[in-house]
Amino acid sequence: MALLEASKSWQGSAPGSVNPDLASERQTASFCVERLTALLDGGAEQTRIRRAVVDAIESDPVFSRENQYFQTQNERYEAAVRKAVHLQKKMHEMGWTENGPEYKYIYRALSGDVAFLLHRVFMRSISVLGSDKQIAKWIPLATQHKLIGSYAQTELGHVGRSATHTVVFAQLYIHGKCYGIHPFIVQIRSLQDHSLCPGITAGDIGPKMNFEHIDNGYLLLRNVRVPRENMLSKFCEVRPDGTYVRQGSQKINYFTMTTVRISLISDEVLTPLMKACTIAIRYSVVRRQSKLKPGEQEAKILDYQTQQEKLLPQLAAAYAFYFTNDYLQELFNRGYREIQRKNFDMLPELHALSSGFKAVITQHCTAGVEICLRACGGHGYSLLSGLPSLYTKILASCIYEGENTILLLQTARFLIKCFMAASAGQPVPPSVTYLAAVKHGKCPAKNKLDFLSPDIYIEAYQHVAVRLTSNTAAKLQDLIQSGVKKHDAWNQCTVQLVQAAKAHCHYIAVKNFAETVEKLETKAGIQKIMKHLCDLFALHGIFSNTGAFLHDGYTSAAQMDMVTASYLDLLAVIRKDAVPLVDAFDFTDKSLNSALGSYDGHVYQRLYEWAQRSPTNQMSPAYERYLKPLLHNTLSKL
Ligand SMILES: CCCCCCC/C=C/C(=O)SCCNC(=O)CCNC(=O)[C@H](O)C(C)(C)COP(=O)(O)OP(=O)(O)OC[C@H]1O[C@@H](n2cnc3c(N)ncnc32)[C@H](O)[C@@H]1OP(=O)(O)O
Ligand SMILES: Cc1cc2nc3c(=O)[nH]c(=O)nc-3n(C[C@H](O)[C@H](O)[C@H](O)COP(=O)(O)OP(=O)(O)OC[C@H]3O[C@@H](n4cnc5c(N)ncnc54)[C@H](O)[C@@H]3O)c2cc1C
């Protein structure tokens, strides 16, 4: 009866007022929220531009998401196509261009609720793998939506019902010789009437857990002739006489995946977790349940230590991975500059880190969103909370752009190679130089405060990552030396290889967070609160993986008690700033689209009002057909 009980508290709420339980949380912030928002945006000017974009999009009724939770798959698709088409007009009106400062905020402002996502991946493929001539031909057509692109790599393809063109990844054969996977632009539908081109079978794959607004499809090509010039040929080319010419690494043909894996982290993965934290934390200070202290009113559920332990590590992870994303972007920009100069030296490291972090971040954030959902009790399960759709959306990110296990094994392959190279005294890329520095010492922490020292916990993470990699490399070698075939030996090590890859990424995420905090301005309380979050992120990782840290005695059981003590202390400290920390993410109510998470905290009023809009509250034909005869029958017996 939570709704009825709580409904008493909102009946008198004035328009524009904020629920006092939420308002009081904002009065005690230990830092300047606006400064933190600017930090996350990369400066106050970026915040201004972002807000202007959000405002322009949200004030346009075509982009409204008001009834989204009540729409069918077809309705969502149609609305998303309408928005995508309207967006072109809007961009023109507003003077926003693909290269302008506003562009990166548009998708976030639309909350991803727009069709033709894969059109962006299509364009990305051409931009990074196409020759200058191909870019000059295709990119303007794609930018103006004179064609609709998609990306067909996985067997059964993914093209759906909108696309007119696709980039197909297929084996290249010349005179019967296979040259491996290459990207080809293929027209699949008529630009006149949208009918399928000869030899093409394609369609939508049907209902999914989410992404109803995106049409994922199947594609079959039978005797389809693709012109030679349609093979993307920045790095590989087939000359008219059939000669194959390649510049640099064959693996560059996989580069679209690397770029997309990095670019999806922000909008597709971090944003859902940040929104989920915002909703769950705001709700947790509005929702009162049970008595914490005898004789007092019911407590805010965020005051329970267990509730803090659910939500605050997710909040810390959101910040940690926000900074990891900056690290990856920077690495990518450097790597891509070199690749454009046809220097492919950074490609293996870039591939290993983008794959590993894509897997680790999507895994962590998906679990985090689910925790937020469950932490809101029964209301979290309602679509109107906004949490189920965040969850079903983010879950897909563990699968697309490379299923996570496959990606972690890619990272592990790189780690094993580098470990072998480092052990033989050869140079290795910067992110793995630590593998050469195998130490067999013990954790030097003497008390719980020592575990708030980044040097202490970074070294513990490093130790675990080195141990998992070196032990697995040794097992692999032993198996091979004992006569097991290389591929069988690899398969027998894959569970441990996945552990090693995760440990490597976790170590880098912790180290990068600590280094970022170190460089922050000390004014306005920002550095202090970020340090708390960094400590929490690091200690949560140790607390929830105790086996890995205790395994070889690097950390003792007594030290684990110290970790636990510091970790629990931090929960109580960060709890005080929990609401300001999510306010700093600066999501508007429209973008949260949540009855539980709005800025004013009028949870029950919204839940009630939104529920009224549900088509399920209209009289169903089931009444006339089935219930009425049934009940009338009962009536005659009373
Ligand atoms: C705007 C965002 C919106 C989000 C929408 C999302 C829409 C989703 C789209 C998709 O899902 S598209 C499909 C994506 N598919 C994948 O990601 C497949 C995952 N599998 C792989 O990546 C595989 O590695 C592969 C590329 C299919 C190749 O597999 P294969 O078994 O043939 O070879 P491997 O042994 O794995 O690798 C050979 C060799 O190549 C290196 N390598 C692999 N990938 C890359 C890369 N991206 N960059 C650089 N190098 C790469 C790999 O390390 C091996 O090297 P060596 O160890 O042999 O030196
Ligand atoms: C929402 C969504 C959108 C998508 N959009 C596109 C798109 O636009 N274009 C496109 O081409 N694709 C797209 N995909 C497909 C996506 O890229 C693939 O689903 C993904 O790469 C996984 O491949 P798979 O489905 O073949 O899974 P599988 O490879 O069959 O994996 C199934 C299971 O087998 C395991 N497995 C497979 N191989 C190995 C191995 N070597 N070692 C150990 N375990 C293994 C995996 O870990 C997993 O547990 C999309 C998928 C989704 C969910």
Q: Which residues line ligand 1 (CB under 6 A)?
A: 117-118, 120-121, 151, 153-154, 251, 254, 257-258, 260, 263-264, 268, 347, 351, 400-402, 406, 410, 413
Pocket test for ligand 2, best of 73, 158, 391 (most atoms within 8 A of CB): 158
Q: What is the mean pLDDT of residues 553-581?
A: 98
**Looking at residue 213, which CATH number applies to its domain?**
2.40.110.10
How far away, in angstroms, is 404 Cα from ligand 2 center? Answer: 9
Query: Among the three residues 247, 281, 303, which one is the final residue of a domain in this structure?
Result: 247
Domain contains 79: no
Q: What is the mean pLDDT of residues 372-391?
A: 98
Domain contains 552: yes
Range name among 15-24, 139-148, 549-558, 598-607 with the lowest pLDDT average: 15-24
DSSP state of 152: E
Domain contains 163: yes
Task: Specify the residue with its C-alpha closest to ligand 1, atom 22.
Answer: 402
Helix 33-41 vs helix 526-543: angle between axes, to the nearest 10 degrees?
70
Label the pairing between strands 244-246 and 217-221: unpaired
Q: Is the pLDDT of residue 428 over 50?
A: yes
pLDDT in tens, 461-499: 999 999 999 999 999 999 999 999 999 999 999 999 999
Per-residue confidence band for 545, with pLDDT thresholds at 50, 70 and 90: very high
Compute the Cα dihedral for 173, 178, 179, 185 and give only its sign.
positive
For residues 81 and 25, the answer to whether their CB atoms sit within 8 Å is: no
Our CA angle for 74, 78, 81, nearest 5°, is: 140
Label the pairing between strands 217-221 and 200-204: antiparallel
Q: Is the pLDDT of residue 618 over 50?
A: yes
Helix (H, G, I), strand (E, B) or coil at 453: coil
pLDDT at 481: 98
Residue 224 main-chain phi, psi, to 5 deg: -95, 125
**Looking at residue 511, which CATH number applies to its domain?**
1.20.140.10
Report the percent of the chain where pLDDT is more than 70.
97
Give the distance from CA 219 to its chain's centroid: 27
Domains: count for the chain: 2
214 lines ligand 2 (CB under 6 A): no
Average pLDDT over all residues of the chain: 94
Q: Which residues make up each annotated binding site for FAD? A: 154
Atom of ligand 2 nearest to the CA of 208: 1
pLDDT at 581: 98
For residues 199 and 222, the answer to whether their CB atoms sit within 8 Å is: yes
Give the distance from CA 442 to its chain's centroid: 36
- Among residues 617, 614, 621, 628, which one has the least CA distance to residue 70? 614
For residues 170 and 182, the answer to whether their CB atoms sit within 8 Å is: yes
Domain contains 463: yes
Ligand closest to 401 (CA) is: 1
Structure tokens at 603: 């949870």
pLDDT in tens, 216-248: 889 999 999 999 999 999 999 999 999 999 988
Task: Specify the residue with its C-alpha closest to ligand 2, atom 47.
Answer: 405
Domain contains 607: no
pLDDT at 7: 40
Q: Which of 58, 212, 349, 401 is catalytic?
A: 401
pLDDT at 157: 54
Q: What is the mean pLDDT of residues 133-162?
A: 90
Instruction: Return the residue matching tokens 């009866």.
Output: 1
pLDDT in tens, 59-113: 999 999 998 999 998 999 999 999 999 999 999 999 999 889 999 999 999 998 8
pLDDT at 247: 87
Residue 573 main-chain phi, psi, to 5 deg: -70, -50
Helix (H, G, I), strand (E, B) or coil at 221: strand
How far away, in angstroms, is 363 Cα from ligand 2 center? Answer: 15
Atom of ligand 2 nearest to the CA of 402: 21
Question: What are the angstrom distances between the C-alpha of 403 and each of 215, 336, 572?
Answer: 20, 24, 37
Ligand closest to 213 (CA) is: 2
Task: Specify the residue with its C-alpha closest to ligand 2, atom 27.
Answer: 403
Domain contains 185: yes
Q: Is the pLDDT of residue 32 over 70?
A: yes
How far away, in angstroms, is 402 Cα from ligand 1 center? Answer: 7
pLDDT at 5: 43
Q: Is the pLDDT of residue 612 over 90?
A: yes
Atom of ligand 2 nearest to the CA of 404: 47
Per-residue confidence band for 633, with pLDDT thresholds at 50, 70 and 90: confident
403 lines ligand 2 (CB under 6 A): yes
Q: Is the pLDDT of residue 390 over 60?
A: yes
How far away, in angstroms, is 258 Cα from ligand 1 center? Answer: 8
How far away, in angstroms, is 395 Cα from ligand 2 center? Answer: 13
Ligand closest to 158 (CA) is: 2
Per-residue confidence band for 148, with pLDDT thresholds at 50, 70 and 90: very high
pLDDT in tens, 101-147: 999 999 999 998 899 989 999 999 999 999 999 999 999 999 999 99
591 lines ligand 2 (CB under 6 A): no
For residues 559 and 443, the answer to whether their CB atoms sit within 8 Å is: yes
Domain contains 354: no
Q: For residues 103 and 110, what is the distance between their CA atoms, to the nearest angstrom?
A: 12
- Among residues 419, 414, 433, 423, which one has the least CA distance to residue 469? 419
pLDDT at 130: 97
Query: Among the three residues 247, 274, 289, which one is the final residue of a domain in this structure?
Result: 247
Output 11 or 545, whichever has higher pLDDT.
Answer: 545
Structure tokens at 60: 């346009």
Q: Is the pLDDT of residue 16 over 90?
A: no
Atom of ligand 1 nearest to the CA of 121: 1
Ligand closest to 205 (CA) is: 2
Instruction: Return the residue matching tokens 């990119």.
Output: 139
pLDDT at 524: 84
Using CA atoms in the order 59, 61, 65, 69, what is the torsion angle rounded to 10 degrees?
150
How far away, in angstroms, is 413 Cα from ligand 1 center? Answer: 13
Domain contains 200: yes
Q: Is the pLDDT of residue 4 over 70?
A: no
Using CA atoms in the order 317, 319, 322, 324, what is the torsion angle rounded to 10 degrees?
-60
Q: For residues 383 and 310, what is the distance between their CA atoms, to the nearest angstrom?
A: 21
Query: Among the three residues 583, 603, 633, which one is the final residue of a domain in this structure?
Result: 583
**Rg of the Cα trace of the chain?**
27
pLDDT at 638: 79
User: Catalytic residue at 298?
Assistant: no
- Among residues 588, 616, 606, which one has the least CA distance to residue 385? 606
Buried b (16+ CB within 10 A) or exposed e, 468-486: bbbbbbeebeebeeeeeee
Report the percent of the chain where pLDDT is more than 90.
89
Task: Specify the residue with its C-alpha closest to ligand 2, atom 43.
Answer: 406
Q: For residues 453 and 43, what is the distance between their CA atoms, to the nearest angstrom?
A: 29
| Residue 187 belongs to domain spanning | 142-247
Per-residue confidence band for 455, with pLDDT thresholds at 50, 70 and 90: very high
Question: What are the angstrom distances between the C-alpha of 30 and each of 41, 117, 523, 530, 534?
Answer: 20, 40, 11, 11, 16
